[in-house]
C-alpha cells in the first residue's frame, strides 16, 4: 500500500466519528421536531441528499438504511392519529433514495405511505408517483415498481389511461408475470371495475410483509366485497320497487317480501342498511364505513 493511500485511509477514519456524530445530531433534530415541523428547517436539513452523499465517505448504503428506518418510524408513529401530519415523510424518502437508488422497499412502501389519504398517509399521490418514477429510472429491471405506478394511477388518481400504460410498459419486462399484461388490457377495456381493483389489492396483500400495508390491503379487499354486496342489494331494491310501486324503507321490508333469506351483513359481520336515497350502504357502526379511500367503481 502506498503512503498516499495510507494517508487517505487515515483521514477517512479520523473523519468517520465526526460524520456519525453529525448524523446523530440530525436524527435528534428530526425527533425534536416530530410534533411541530419547521418547513424551512427541514428543507435545509433534509433535502440535501447529494450533499450528504458527498460527505458519506462511501457509506451511502448504510446511511440510506438509517434514513429509511427513520422514515418507517416516522410514518408508524403518526399513522391513524387524529389530525396526523406527515411533513417530514417526503424529505426522508428523498434523501433515502438519493443515497441508495437501489433500495426498492423505499420506493414501493414509501409510495404507499405518501399516497394514503386522511390520517393514514400524506395524501400526496403526486409525490408518490414522482418517487416511483425515480425508482423505475434507477432500477429498470424491477417490474414491481411498474405495478406500483399503475396502482397509483388506477386507485389514487382514477387515471385509467395512464394506469393501463404503466401496466403495459411493465409487461414488456421479461421478469414480469403474465397477469401484468392482462391488467393493462382489462383496465383499457373496463376502466375502474371492482374486479380490477380486487386483483390489484390482492397482489399487494400477497406480496408485502409489512403488517401495516398488509392490514390496509386486507381492509380494502373487505370494502370491495362490501361494494359487491351493495350492488346486488341495490338490484333487489329495484325489484321491490317494481313489484310494490314504492321504495323499501329497510332491508327488513325486502326480506319480508321474500326477496332476501335474511338480513345480509358486511365482511366484518355488521348488517347493511338502506340510506335515504334507497341505496344500500355500510352501516355507520361498521369499522369498514370509516374508509379514507374510495373505490373507482362505486
User: Which pLDDT belongs to residue 71?
Assistant: 92
The answer to whether residue 199 sits within a structural domain is: no
- Same domain, residue pair 45 and 134: yes
The answer to whether residue 50 sits within a structural domain is: yes
Give yes or no for residue 232 having a pLDDT over 70.
yes
| Number of domains, the chain | 2
In the chain, the percentage of residues whose pLDDT exceeds 70 is: 78
- Same domain, residue pair 46 and 134: yes
The answer to whether residue 117 sits within a structural domain is: yes
Give yes or no for residue 20 having a pLDDT over 70.
no
The answer to whether residue 5 sits within a structural domain is: no
The answer to whether residue 164 sits within a structural domain is: no
The model's pLDDT over 161-182, given as tens digits with 9 standing for 90+, comes to 999 999 999 999 999 988 888 8
DSSP three-state, residue 192: coil
Give me the chain's average pLDDT, please: 82
DSSP three-state, residue 74: helix
Domain assignment of residue 273, given as a range: 215-289
User: Which pLDDT belongs to residue 129?
Assistant: 98
Q: Which of 93, 123, 139 is the last residue of a domain?
A: 139
Place of cell 433515502: 96
Global model pTM greater than 0.85: no
The model's pLDDT over 122-152, given as tens digits with 9 standing for 90+, comes to 999 999 999 999 999 999 999 999 999 999 9
- Same domain, residue pair 134 and 45: yes
The answer to whether residue 68 sits within a structural domain is: yes
Q: Which of 139, 156, 189 is the last residue of a domain?
A: 139
The CB density around residue 83, as the number of other CB atoms within 10 Å, is 6
Contact criterion met (CB below 8 Å) for 150 and 183: yes
Q: Which of 139, 156, 185 is the last residue of a domain?
A: 139
The answer to whether residue 185 sits within a structural domain is: no
Cβ contacts of 146-152, under 8 Å, gap ≥ 24: 146/170, 146/173, 146/176, 146/180, 147/180, 147/183, 147/200, 147/203, 148/107, 148/108, 148/111, 150/183, 150/184, 150/187, 150/200, 151/200, 151/204, 152/111, 152/115, 152/125, 152/128
DSSP three-state, residue 281: strand
Amino acid at each position: 500500500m502506498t503512503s498516499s493511500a495510507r494517508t487517505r485511509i487515515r483521514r477517512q477514519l479520523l473523519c468517520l466519528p465526526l460524520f456519525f456524530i453529525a448524523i446523530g445530531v440530525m436524527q435528534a433534530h428530526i425527533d425534536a421536531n416530530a410534533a411541530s415541523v419547521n418547513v424551512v428547517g427541514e428543507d435545509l436539513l433534509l433535502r440535501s441528499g447529494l450533499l450528504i452523499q458527498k460527505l458519506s465517505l462511501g457509506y451511502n448504503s448504510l446511511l440510506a438504511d438509517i434514513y429509511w428506518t427513520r422514515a418507517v418510524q416516522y410514518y408508524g408513529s403518526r399513522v391513524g392519529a387524529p389530525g396526523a401530519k406527515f411533513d417530514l415523510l417526503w424529505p426522508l424518502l428523498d434523501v433515502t433514495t438519493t443515497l441508495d437508488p437501489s433500495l426498492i422497499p423505499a420506493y414501493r412502501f414509501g409510495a404507499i405511505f405518501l399516497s394514503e389519504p386522511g390520517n393514514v398517509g400524506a395524501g400526496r399521490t403526486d409525490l408518490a408517483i414522482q418517487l416511483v418514477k425515480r425508482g423505475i429510472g434507477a432500477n429498470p429491471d424491477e417490474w414491481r415498481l411498474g405495478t406500483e405506478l399503475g396502482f397509483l394511477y388506477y386507485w389514487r388518481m382514477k387515471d385509467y389511461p395512464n394506469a393501463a400504460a404503466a401496466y403495459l410498459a411493465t409487461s414488456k419486462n421479461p421478469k414480469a408475470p403474465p397477469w401484468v399484461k392482462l391488467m393493462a388490457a382489462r383496465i383499457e377495456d373496463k376502466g375502474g371495475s371492482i374486479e380490477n381493483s380486487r386483483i390489484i389489492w390482492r397482489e399487494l396483500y400477497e406480496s408485502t410483509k409489512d403488517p401495516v400495508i398488509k392490514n390496509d390491503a386486507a381492509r380494502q379487499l373487505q370494502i370491495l366485497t362490501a361494494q359487491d354486496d351493495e350492488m346486488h342489494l341495490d338490484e333487489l331494491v329495484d325489484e321491490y320497487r317494481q313489484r310494490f310501486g314504492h321504495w323499501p324503507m329497510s332491508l327488513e321490508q325486502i326480506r319480508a317480501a321474500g326477496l332476501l333469506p335474511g338480513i345480509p351483513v358486511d365482511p366484518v359481520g355488521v348488517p347493511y342498511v338502506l340510506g335515504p336515497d334507497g341505496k344500500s350502504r355500510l352501516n355507520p357502526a361498521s369499522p369498514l364505513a370509516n374508509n379514507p379511500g374510495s373505490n373507482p367503481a362505486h
